[in-house]
Amino acid sequence: MFRFSPQPRSIRFLCRPEDDGVVPPPVPAKTFLPDWFRKLPAVDASKLSTSDSGLTVKRCMPFLDAMTAGWIIRLAATVRMEIADGGKTVNCAWDFDRTLVSNHGSHQVVGNPREPSPPCKFHNYWTVRTPPGWSCLFVQPLNRPNGIFEIVSGVVDTDTYAAEIHFPFFATGEDGLHVIEKGAPLVQVIPFERRALELKADIRAERDDEKEDRRRVFRNTISGDGWYRRFSGRRGRDRSAGGSSPAFLLGRLRRRHAHRRSEGPRFPRNVWSGEGANAATNDKGPVANHRPLVSDAERSIVRRRVRRAVR
């Protein structure tokens, strides 16, 4: 029988029992969009004219997909941050019963572009766990500058590192007192499977068919609003090639297989070759006019696209 890869298991955010219901829980990034983005119209009517579509970044799917990827870890409690001497001095205070901010030694990052701002660190009280083979990218919430601090990015193998992860940062705000409220977005957590980083690069001039793909996609993009969102983006990627991508075809094969199982006879195991599919009998008895599970055309398309994807 055709075998499909299991779906990834869940990411886990674990806190100490006494922090449950006190420290704000992580939330999906897509449910925590900033107010300025929510209020932004998709089309600026004041700019709409014969020479300007008036579109705003709200219609930019790559921008939105970056904002909504993964999860947001939030600040455990309100922090008062005072920045002075042009960023050379950063002092923080809080009323919570846990450490929320500490310092790194400046010698650890000598020569970095943020000098003379001292490296600091937000303390986090959530442990992040992922399935085997999965890590997490921790970054400043994407496309959400806050004007006060900037998180230093990092990757952690969260399938083996079962401890709390703290987040280095540099203060970027103007001199003065800045109040960062409890629950403010601190870090964006983007899980990924490490084997995806092992993809080999194919660096060369494009083929004729690839040239046509590029031109077709570009012309569709400029021919009307929202084409990328409807057909080329994540939600429609399998449909963009006319329903002939490997994922689309394999999904169709699975649905067809499930449907034929419900009709009665059990099917042969070799669904790729269709071997025995038209035989007069199988291990359940006579089978009349049994069609192959996969047509020659479908089998050829899937194999060609899979070879191209892994090449």
101-115, pLDDT tens digit by residue? Answer: 999 888 888 888 888
Query: Which contacts (CB < 8 Å, 24+ apart) does range 168-172 have?
Result: 168/104, 168/119, 168/120, 168/121, 169/119, 169/120, 169/121, 169/122, 170/114, 170/117, 170/118, 170/119, 170/120, 171/81, 171/83, 171/87, 171/90, 171/117, 171/118, 171/120, 172/87, 172/117, 172/147, 172/148
The residue among 4 and 187 whose pLDDT is bigger is 187
How does pLDDT run across 119-162, given as a tens digit for each residue?
999 999 999 999 999 999 999 999 999 999 999 999 999 999 99
Of 144, 170, 198, which residue sits at a domain end? 198
Instruction: Report if residue 229 sits inside a domain.
Output: no
Q: Which domain holds residue 60?
A: 12-198
How does pLDDT run across 79-108, given as a tens digit for each residue?
999 999 999 999 999 999 999 999 988 888
Q: Are residues 178 and 246 in the same domain?
A: no
CA distance linking residue 200 with residue 185, whole number of Å: 35
Q: Are residues 193 and 244 in the same domain?
A: no
Which residues, in sequence order, are CB contacts of 275 under 8 Å at separation 6+?
268
Kindly report the pTM of this predicted structure: 0.70
How does pLDDT run across 18-49, given as a tens digit for each residue?
999 999 999 999 998 999 999 999 888 888 88
Instruction: Report if residue 70 sits inside a domain.
Output: yes
Based on the structure, what is the number of domains in the chain?
A: 2
